[in-house]
Amino acid sequence: MHPLAERIQKQDMRALARAISLAEGEGEEKLKLMSDIFSIKKNAHYIGITGSPGAGKSSLINRLLTYLRSQDLTVAVVAVDPTSPFSGGSLLGDRTRMNQHFTDPGIFIRSMATRGSLGGLARATKDAIRVCDAYGFDIILVETVGVGQSELDIMKVVDTTGLVLTPNSGDVLQIFKAGIMEIADLFIINKADLPGVEKLKTTLEEYMMIAQPKGWQPPIVETISTENAGMDTLWNELNRHRDYLWNTAQGEKQRNQQLKLEVYELIREEIWRSVQAEVEKDPEKQQALKEVDADPYQLAREWFQQWIRRENDHGE
């Protein structure tokens, strides 16, 4: 077993942080580590919280953390920033709002940034979740800062997705266009003390009638994070969705589909890395890439076929 995996099994916090850093990279060592990490996973509940900036996600998560700790549950928070090349920007502000939890040994908070790769971030986020799971956290919260393609990718790696909305914000149309509505397992109306709650609930109910969900009907939960209101209801609905995933045929089908997509993604990444390495070390191919008018489709087809032939030759 990888030394970091052994230390994580013993709940070594430094090993946890180091393993997540390794999971953000690439290479054989990462694959070995993640395979060993997977063998000791403990089936934590993976929860994603997304929504437009200003919806109050961080304040909501802050209150939810307090509630979960009152239930004697340990929590890891993976805070994802798809814009900043470093762990800064709005995400730094998000973490500042959680500062009361930094000294709590039952809570671990980690920031992750794309550094220019949306798909890579989704993969790294899933790996970070698994590392936290192996460590032994009961709940793993994934917070994203917006409602773009990266959020769609990241939400596919959690069990339950909560979409945070606020009354009279005009977010529903934007989120509908982004496709986030389709992956929401529950709708969280935060700042529910503001006017416009009933109108927003009606809009969501009408959307769900049109969407005709199969199996799971996303509930609508009202919260007021500034007053610490609605956390018990929110937690009950999160648990109810997890029960659905693990105790119904439709939930099992959903989990199997997620596994299938993950396996295909890992295969695609390994092939891409191998082909890229071949191209990078071949001077003729590098020269071809400098030709402005080169046909990218033709080059991709030829080089991929060459890679396949080389792989076949190596296998014989």
Q: Is 127 exposed, middle or buried (0-12, 13-18, 19+ CB in 10 A)?
A: buried
The answer to whether residues 163 and 238 belong to one domain is: yes
Count of CB atoms situated within 10 Å of the CB of 293: 4
Report the alpha-carbon distance of residue 184 to residue 295 in Å, rounded: 40
Domain span at residue 295? 260-315
Grade residue 178 by pLDDT with cuts at 50, 70 and 90.
Answer: low
Look at residue 254 and tell me if it is in a domain: no
* Beta-ladder partners of 188: 164, 221
| Interval 180-204 mean pLDDT | 86
Cα 238 to Cα 139, 161, 233, distances in angstroms: 11, 9, 9
Look at residue 255 and tell me if it is in a domain: no
The answer to whether residues 287 and 188 belong to one domain is: no
Look at residue 252 and tell me if it is in a domain: no
The answer to whether residues 223 and 119 belong to one domain is: yes
pLDDT value of residue 118? 45
The answer to whether residues 218 and 103 belong to one domain is: yes
* Beta-ladder partners of 51: 164
The answer to whether residues 96 and 193 belong to one domain is: yes
Look at residue 266 and tell me if it is in a domain: yes
The answer to whether residues 171 and 67 belong to one domain is: yes
Considering its fold, how many domains does the chain have in total? Answer: 3
pLDDT at 315 over 70: no
Look at residue 253 and tell me if it is in a domain: no
The answer to whether residues 154 and 243 belong to one domain is: yes
- Which of these three, 224, 247, 270, is where a domain ends? 247
The pLDDT tens digits of the residues spanning 98-139 come to 666 767 889 999 887 655 444 556 778 888 999 999 999 999
* Beta-ladder partners of 124: none
pLDDT value of residue 311? 85
Per mean pLDDT, which range of 99-108, 191-200, 257-266 is the poorest? 99-108
Grade residue 237 by pLDDT with cuts at 50, 70 and 90.
Answer: very high
Grade residue 160 by pLDDT with cuts at 50, 70 and 90.
Answer: very high
pLDDT at 83 over 60: no
